[in-house]
Structure formats: C-alpha cells, structure tokens
Amino acid sequence: MAILHTYLPYAPWTRAHAQRLPGTMALPRAEWLFVDAAYGAQMRERARLLAERPGDVLAIRPEAQDAADELLEEVLGDLPSFGFEREGEKLRCPDGRRVTPDRTRPLWTLGHLLQADFCLLQKPDGAGEHVLTGAVLCFPSSWTLAEKLGHPLMRIHQPVGSYDAAMGARVQRMFDNLRPDQPIWRANLLDYTDPALFQPRREAAPKQRHTGSPYLRSERQCLLKLRDSGAVVFSIHTAVIHRDSLTSEQAAALPAHLRSAQAPL
C-alpha cells in the first residue's frame, strides 16, 4: 500500500558530515522516537500487516524476550511526550485509536503503537558481533526478516557492496561503544519505482529501484542501547515521498546518483 508523505521531515544529507558512511550523528535521548503527519495512515497499514501476515513481519528468538520486555517498558515511558494519553490500562494514540499494551507480546504491541519498526540485536558471550534476535518489521525495504533473523551484522549486510570488512568493523565498534543515555541516528535515501511501504524481497531477488524513479524512500534509523539487557535497538521510521515534494534545499543536496535519471542502480 502506498502512503506518501507530503514532505520529508528529515534530510541529514544536506549536511556534509552526514554524507560520509555510515553517517551517524548523536541524538538527544528524548528524540529517538518519532511521530509525524503520516501516523494514522501508516498505523492502519501496520495493523493490517500484523493481522494478515504476522509470520512475515514479526519474529523473536527466546533469548530476546527479556530485551523485548525492556524495550516495551522503555517506549511506554516515552510515549506521553509524543501525544499518547493514558486511559486506565489503555493508551489513546495520536490518531484516536486505543491500544491496550500486551506485555506477553511486546514487539506486537510496539507494532500497534508506533510507525517505526524495531529490531533487537544482542551480542552473545564470546561473540565478535551483534546478532539479530527479534523484530517487528512491517515496512522492510527489500529484505526479509526470515532471511536475517539469527545472523550477525556482517552476514545481515552481505548483499550490500559498501559493507565490507572495514565498514563491518567500524559499525561493530559503534555498537560496542553505545551508551544508554546517548542514542545515535542516520537516514538513508533510495530511489523506488514502487511507493509501497511493505516491500519484502529475498537477497537474490532484483531490487525495484532505478535512478530517476518518481519516488524516494528514506529511513530514519536510530540505535539505542537498553540499560539492563545491553541489547541494541535498531529503529526504522520510513517515509516515502514523490520527488516533487522535496524542498529546494533537499533537492539541491541530493547525492549525484539520485539526481541522475539515466542508468539503473
């Protein structure tokens, strides 16, 4: 389903330091969650996917249960700052829906509360990398949860050409050095021919992206370390816009390969 933003609410690529991979920046703890004008429409699509395709958008390994519980409590404590109101055991959401948190299904509950997808990554004792152990992933951008669950960071990014050993080591150091009081964030930007939010795709499948496509898809990606479990939360807030919706500053700062309308990616 296509749900277009009328404007792109973040554009870090307009700043030079954010153009260098991985392009991460410090983020105030109070701003790691995000609610925007597309909230109502995106939440209806998330509810549909969680009801109709739960096996595709929700998964958790046993070792991630404590971290998922902690994440839910962390988010519930933050929600009043984003327009959520408590009504007894229920939460009144910004779009007027009322959601009763189900603590036996923390990731499922998160999927009904916020636009962002949430992935949990944990570093097993003695391991060199963090491993994806659970996620609610309603808006995948050309990947599948089933293909990534249980794998470490390097294996997860295997199809990404720029994610070489040096980049993998840099990202792992970043994960290791995260502090609970200091999340970090970045945003990517991709051409898509199809504006649908739910775009699962196996690693070997061709991507539906071409330079000069009418739509741009951007993910606001945040990393937050949970204090008790030590798990790292990777949140993904997705916006899809028509190219014409970019501001003049955003359009002028587009990376060269996104300004081109010639060869496919």
Specify the pairing of strand 117-122 against strand 98-99: unpaired
Residue among 237, 187, 205 nearest 35 (CA) = 237
Closest alpha carbon to 83 in 70, 98, 94, 99:
94
Separation between Cα atoms, residue 245 and residue 7, nearest integer Å: 5
What is the rounded CA–CA span in Å between residue 20 and residue 159? 20
pLDDT band at 264, cuts 50/70/90? Answer: very low
Cα–Cα dist 220/10, whole Å? 8
Q: Is 14 helix (H, G, I), strand (E, B) or coil?
A: helix
pLDDT computed for residue 208 by the predictor: 61
The strand ranges marked E within the chain are 25-26, 58-60, 85-87, 90-92, 98-99, 117-122, 131-136, 184-187, 190-192, 215-225, 232-242
d(CA 87, CA 5) in angstroms, rounded, equals: 30
Does residue 159 have a pLDDT over 80? no
- The two beta strands, 58-60 and 25-26, are unpaired
Tokens of 103: 């603590």
Strands 90-92 and 98-99: antiparallel
pLDDT over 60 at 249, yes or no: yes
Structure tokens at 98: 């009322």
Q: Which are the contacts of 53, defined by CB distance < 8 A and separation ≥ 6?
A: none
Arithmetic mean of pLDDT, 167-196:
92
Q: How many CB atoms lie within 10 A of CB 62?
A: 8
Least confident stretch, 21-25, 230-234, 239-243: 21-25
For the stretch 76-92, pLDDT in tens is 999 999 999 999 999 99
Q: What end-to-end distance do the CA atoms of the chain give, in Å?
A: 23
| Residue 83: both structure tokens together | 């327009």
Using pLDDT thresholds of 50, 70 and 90, give the confidence band for residue 161.
Answer: low
**pLDDT tens digits, one per residue of 197-234:** 999 998 877 766 566 688 999 999 999 999 999 999 99
pLDDT of residue 10: 86
Task: Summarize pLDDT for 38-69 with one digit per residue, the tens.
Answer: 999 999 999 999 999 999 999 999 999 999 99
The answer to whether the CB of 107 falls within 8 A of the CB of 125 is no
Choice among 103-107, 111-115, 247-251 with the minimum mean pLDDT: 247-251
Tell me the two tokens of residue 212: 């000069």
pLDDT grade for 103, boundaries at 50, 70 and 90: very high
CA distance 85 to 97: 11
Rounded CA-CA distance 97/222 in Å is: 26
Which residue matches tokens 């501001």? 247
- Which residue ranges make up each domain of the chain? 12-240
